[in-house]
Each structure stands twice: as structure tokens, then as C-alpha cells.
Structure 1
Amino acid sequence: MRLIIGIGNRHRGDDAIGCILAELLSTRLKEQDNPDYRIITHDGEPASLMAQWAGYDEVILLDAVHSGRQPGTLIKLDLVNEHLSQAFLHCSTHAFGITEAVELSRAMDTLPDKLVFYGIEAQTFDPDARLSQAVSQQLEQLLADIVEDLRDNHYENKGAVPMHEFSLMADLLRKIERIAQDAGGREKIVLTAIHVKLGALSHISAEHFREHFETAIKGTVAEGARLDVEELTDPNDPNAQEIILDSIEVRDRDDC
């Protein structure tokens, strides 16, 4: 028996997506005569979350994330081999609970043999808001993608960005998104180039960064922009451990 937990707050817009998908999965899997799952919804409280997955070999978590990607994008992470960062859960009301539950279980050596996190890129976490139209439109595709993974028992995210790099990319993409919004947003401008500097102690090569960046920007405002990367060499620089967004270039969409 495997456990699926939909985590969320039903009264904060897209923060409800984990619960909604869990309920839809319950119906869909019953229709497909697949009884090998227990499916529940949860508020993310850490002690209760750990109690729920105790004794299960395979656990799947569903929750909303905010990383700067296109709303409705599905992100899959293997939490047995990666640490769940709060960097892209920071808008959620239960981000700390999920992270704490996973890391406490890891420290106590009680993690399930398989612990997979499906994150759904959210657009709004506003109180008393409904599911955004952007996420609602992706519901059927999200459901189909997850059902296919469950059917194939295949949880690896091919081409996924490892958690450390993913956190860095999420922060970088949020900065790019803010600058793009200040310049007029997707409706008015197109990003043509992004200039990044890698600190001497950032522990990521230009080639490695470029590879993960190309994966991370799919579906975002940065997709299609040229990437220029400069590797800094001074380990005494105050930003030696950072990935620095130096500048971006834009042009009016009407000129394209």
C-alpha cells in the first residue's frame, strides 16, 4: 500500500492545489481499478504528517510551490536523495511544516524508502481567493501526468534540477521576474539577454550553471533569452559565494 498526501490550505487560492489534486486522484485511480493507494489531504503540520506516513514504504506529497515558473508547471523531486528547501515554498502557509517533517524523519532514520514531492507552480496565495484560472486550466494535464507516473511507478524527474541548484535558480528567476514586471511584463516586453556572474566560491561552473538554467527557465518569462555567464576569480570578494544577476536586456514586444 502506498500513501498519497495532498497538502494545502483551501482558503488561499492556489495553495489548495495539493488537496484538490489528491481528491481528483482518488476518483481517477478508483475508476482505473487501482486500489493500491491510500489518499488523504493534510494541512502540513509536521508531527501529524510524520505520523501519517509512518509504516509506508512509498509516500507521495502534493503541494503548491512558487519558483517563478509558469503557473501550473509540475515539478518533481526525490526527497530521499535531496533536501527540500523552503526557497520555493516560501509563500505557502505550511512550508516550514513540510520541511521540518522531512528533515526530522531523515535525522531519525524514519524516512519512507521512497518519498516523492510533486510541486505545482502557483500564481496566487491570497486569503479567501479561489484557484487561479492559470492553474485551473492545467488541472487535467497535471492529473494525467501524475497518474502516468504512478502507473509506471516512475518518479524520477528526467532533466530535473538538483535541489541546491534549483533553489539558486528559483531565487534568480524571481529576481528576473520582478525586473521584467517593472519593465512592463510579458504583455509589453521580451527578454533578449540575461547577464550572470558566478562568484569564485559559488561551486558551480559556467557549463553546469548554463545546463541547469536552460532547464529551469522553461515556461518562464526568461525562456528564449540569451544567457551570458562570467566566472569571477576573486575568493575574497564579498559576493564570492553568490550567483549574481548583473543585468538583463529587454525590447518592446511591438518591435519583435
Structure 2
Amino acid sequence: MRTHARTVVIGVGNEFRRDDGVGWAVISQLRMRAADRSLPPGTVLATCDGEPARLIALWEDSAVAVVVDAAHSHPGTPGRIHRLELDAGSVTQPATTSSHGLGLGEAVELARALGRLPARLVVYAVEGADSSLGTGLSPAVAAVVEPLAVRVEDELRRRRGTTAGELP
């Protein structure tokens, strides 16, 4: 069994499907910010296409996994951010759906069934406006990338002062 860092932040999506690339954009922003201010020790930044087995492999053995993904919600408000927090004992179905065929919900359910959920899973789902082929985020989604990166970074820093597996 591989041992992963205590905390992993995963940007999920496809940067060639416009707003579906928001997770990757947030990871890119976090990497740029980390050049000036390091993230807490043991933090890994990763991107993933959303395939459930790859997601599970990235968060397996982590005390905390933070996932940023695009979401579809009806009715939707492009750029609106949903925050869901799950622990290994409580899994609920989110009100939004992933923009992928097999989504984060399926990965969570599979990981739960296999006993491979991180101790704490935090999901930031950003409602998108455009998932057509191409690059570049819609203005509403692009506007939340930096504030969401700051929010994730703040959450990671707050976590540093707590015991393993706990988020404030």
C-alpha cells in the first residue's frame, strides 16, 4: 500500500472543456501562490480527469483530501461555490452533479464501499456556465478561481493547528 501525504488538494476536470477546467485552474493558482508562501508541510497538489480509480488513488491514505470540481446545478448560477464536507462515516449525495460521466459521487461511493475514503473529504463544487470544447473559463467561473484558491489555502492553514484528520 502506498502512503500519501496527510493532505492532498485535487483539481478535477478537463481544461479543454472550458468551465470543466476550474479545478485545474485553482490548482495552478495554488501553485503560483505557494511560490511566495509555502503551503503547510505534507500538502500535495494534484490534478485528475475525474476517473474514480484515479481519484481514489490520489486521496487514499490521506487524513484530508480537498477536491475542487466543476458542477452542474439546475437551476444554476455560474460561479457559485458549494462546499461539502464528509468524513469516512457520513456520505451524502450532493445536490449538484459532476460535469463528468462518472463523477465524484461515484468515486466517493466506491471509496466508501472499499474503505478507501480519506478521514475527511472536503469538496468545492463550482457551478459552470460552459462545458463545450475549448480552453478558457467563462467570466463568472474565472472570477472565482483566485478567491477559491485563497479559501482552500486558508482552510489548509487552519487545519495545521488541529489534530490529524480534523478540520475546524
**TM-score for both structures, normalised by structure 2:** 0.80
Q: 2:79 aligns with which of 62, 72, 82?
A: 72
In structure 2, the partner of 1:7 is 12
Query: Separation in 2 of the partners of 1:73 and 1:93?
Result: 18
Query: Separation in 2 of the partners of 1:102 and 1:155?
Result: 19
Query: Separation in 1 of the partners of 2:103 and 2:60?
Result: 16
Is the partner of 1:17 in helix, strand or coil? helix
Cα-to-partner distance string for 1:78-121 (whole Å, 9 max, x where unaligned): 13233234x5225x124x24222210111122211011111112
Q: How many residues align?
A: 153
Cα-to-partner distance string for 1:120-171 (whole Å, 9 max, x where unaligned): 1211111225210111122222222222222222857xxxxxxxxxxxxxxx
Task: Identify which of structures 1 and 2 has the higher relative contact order when contacts are C-alpha pairs closer than 8 Å and 6+ apart.
Answer: 2
Kindly indicate whether the alpha-carbon contact (under 8 Å) linking 2:67 and 2:121 is maintained by their aligned counterparts in 1. yes
Instruction: Quickly say closer, same or farther: Cα 1:84–1:30, change in 2 above 3 A.
Output: farther
Is the partner of 1:79 in helix, strand or coil? strand
Query: Separation in 1 of the partners of 2:158 and 2:69?
Result: 21
After TM superposition, give the deviation of residue 56 of structure 1 in Å: 1.3
Q: Which structure 2 residues correspond to residues 167-186 of structure 1 after superposition, within 5 A?
A: none
In structure 1, the partner of 2:113 is 107
Q: Which structure 2 residues correspond to residues 1-256 of structure 1 after superposition, within 5 A?
A: 1-34=6-39, 35-67=41-73, 68-80=75-87, 81-85=90-94, 88-89=96-97, 92-94=99-101, 96-153=102-159
**TM-score for both structures, normalised by structure 1:** 0.54
Query: Separation in 1 of the partners of 2:106 and 2:30?
Result: 26
Kindly indicate whether the alpha-carbon contact (under 8 Å) linking 1:78 and 1:155 is maintained by their aligned counterparts in 2. no
Q: Percent identity?
A: 34
After TM superposition, give the deviation of residue 4 of structure 1 in Å: 0.8
Structure 1 portions without partners, runs of 5+: 157-256
In structure 2, the partner of 1:226 is none
Query: Separation in 2 of the partners of 1:66 and 1:20?
Result: 17
- Aligned alpha-carbon RMSD (Å): 2.1
Structure 2 portions without partners, runs of 5+: 1-5, 160-165
Cα-to-partner distance string for 1:171-205 (whole Å, 9 max, x where unaligned): xxxxxxxxxxxxxxxxxxxxxxxxxxxxxxxxxxx
Kindly indicate whether the alpha-carbon contact (under 8 Å) linking 1:46 and 1:101 is maintained by their aligned counterparts in 2. yes
Query: Separation in 1 of the partners of 2:63 and 2:79?
Result: 28
Is the partner of 2:140 in helix, strand or coil? helix
Amino acid at match of 1:137: A
